[in-house]
Structure 1
């Protein structure tokens, strides 16, 4: 197999941005206090407070699944339930970790575009106070969704108000939150803190960081004793400075915005070229850095042999192509040329 290593499978497959590598090296000298009591972690925390509000609490973890699971665990008891779209990462791609480590039941909702609405959530809004039923406690959404679609600020706020009216919390999986902020042309605070989100999983790995995510408690009451939850969850880094240094570099000098803007623009370029090919059907609005399309089934494996990517829906012959901070126009042009070649 002569596979092009720069494929379109996932933005996780991309490398680490040079500025992030430099940030790690810049703190790699001498000794400093471990487990997050260092000056770098204090600086990174201060940046998060500047971005999301001085009242918030933030805790760094290694991976996004841990951010989701531990953040939800902080807001729930094992008899609670989490309402989320059927396509949510916590439902599809976390190997049952939310159920195992929180004890909560996931109540999923089919959606046409990955977006949860109040109307769709209503089907699970029952059984409150009935001891035989799991009690709905959290609504969890992804911004952007796993289908690359976006919630508007008003849509987030409506879901938050709906949750709060029922004594529930709103959790946001922000693994690609930078791509969402760029596409919405909003700062982070406008569609999280100001919109009523209670818990945010803030991602950076998909946008140029090496590793490290953050659990951001926009409702600081939920952060009570979370330090113990993080430790029990095996997510307390001893050499925290190497995570914090990445966040400092990532959130400074508009670095997150530059990398996310590039990834988004590459997806739009890819879609603009593919939609001109008659046998390729784009299935979702291309709002961030993902392109979903239906293509003839007989070319999928041959195309994957050249550029690795994932089939999203085998029954529909729908595939997903993700662009990254390091995707180039040549990558796009060569890929589109290969699609055309295989379709001739």
Structure 2
């Protein structure tokens, strides 16, 4: 009954088979192999657009290296106040950008809105060289609260950002879950919506350790090969990235895996909502479920072997105040969340 995080799940058998196949024999190093070249072509087909793709091992590296291409040390990067980037990446964004500042945008909706973005940009002083200059907007898809931006919402935000001279980055650690949830095309959610660079995450969706920084605006990728090398993310056996992405993207396997995780989240949410002492905090739109429950109930669930996490009280909407004995809790489903796990959880909760 592990609902701690989708990054705790194992590897899809199809991807594992591809890794084993790619592990035999010899191949050119540093991404100059056939698997990596085919993977970049596969990504271009998925987004129906010419791209520059660079493979790295972690989501932190993907996000922060991508932002380093968009921000100078004296710049600012705007993101939601609860974004993973600002709450769970330590000081990696500042490290990789050489000191660029993260500026949070707080909204009660759990997502950045065009009005909130405009208001934030308007408030920032413009007194060169004394004031920080914004250069990028980072949007998480899905968000840290499990919400999904629609293509129309993304396009509206990108238009405001570009109007003010900002580039737009997307933290796509759960991009697959968002695409599967909305049923739109990957292009509609990125290049057609004005996204300049995507951190395309496979690790939470069935891969072992595989992330890609995908540039839809090629000029922004200038010098990125040096950035990746300097960060220690140029892996000699790059075919292990390429093999994973090829298997992940082939026949929409990535969307199949994400769809399984999303479905499990809906089942889990229904089980939780049926309990009289549990309140749903946010709509369940991808593969995360956020609830409020009594602390004693959480303790009993943990003692019974359920794995989940208490969450940040300030992540809740203002309309949901916490009682003295209540705690926010996050549940995350994965591609491997089984009916047996869901049934076992329902039985535990029912007791």
Band of TM-score, shorter chain: over 0.9
Query: 1:13: which partner in 2?
Result: 8
Which string of whole-angstrom CA distances, capped at 9 and with x for unpartnered residues, describes residues 194-218 of structure 1? 1100010000010100001000011
Query: 1:112: which partner in 2?
Result: 108
Query: 1:157: which partner in 2?
Result: 155
Query: 2:57: which partner in 1?
Result: 62
Q: Does 1:326 align with 2:342?
A: no
Which string of whole-angstrom CA distances, capped at 9 and with x for unpartnered residues, describes residues 298-325 of structure 1? 1212312311111113584110000111
CA distance in structure 2 between the partners assigned to 1:128 and 1:139 by the alignment: 18
User: What's the CA shift for 1:55?
Assistant: 2.5
Contact 1:113 1:284 in 2 (8 A): no
CA distance in structure 1 between the partners assigned to 2:165 and 2:68 by the alignment: 16
User: What's the CA shift for 1:111?
Assistant: 2.3
Secondary structure at the residue paired with 1:58? strand
User: What's the CA shift for 1:44?
Assistant: 0.3
In structure 1, list runs of 5 or more residues that go unmatched: 1-5
TM-score w.r.t. the length of structure 1 is: 0.95
Q: Does 1:87 align with 2:86?
A: no
Contact 1:290 1:320 in 2 (8 A): yes
Contact 1:52 1:218 in 2 (8 A): no
Contact 2:59 2:211 in 1 (8 A): yes
Q: 1:113 to 1:304 in 2, by over 3 A?
A: farther
Secondary structure at the residue paired with 1:293? strand
CA distance in structure 2 between the partners assigned to 1:202 and 1:138 by the alignment: 18
Secondary structure at the residue paired with 2:77? strand
Aligned residues: 336
Secondary structure at the residue paired with 1:47? helix
CA RMSD of aligned residues (A): 1.3
CA distance in structure 2 between the partners assigned to 1:54 and 1:84 by the alignment: 26
Q: Does 1:29 align with 2:24?
A: yes
Which string of whole-angstrom CA distances, capped at 9 and with x for unpartnered residues, describes residues 215-255 of structure 1? 00111110001000000111111100011100000000111
Query: 2:317: which partner in 1?
Result: none
CA distance in structure 1 between the partners assigned to 2:162 and 2:237 by the alignment: 37
User: What's the CA shift for 1:129?
Assistant: 5.2
Contact 1:113 1:149 in 2 (8 A): no
CA distance in structure 2 between the partners assigned to 1:301 and 1:131 by the alignment: 52
- 1:212 pairs, out of 183, 206, 210, with 210
Structure 1 range deviating more: 332-341 or 157-166: 332-341
User: What's the CA shift for 1:123?
Assistant: 3.8
CA distance in structure 2 between the partners assigned to 1:309 and 1:152 by the alignment: 28
Secondary structure at the residue paired with 1:253? helix
In structure 2, list runs of 5 or more residues that go unmatched: 315-321
Q: Does 1:99 align with 2:94?
A: yes
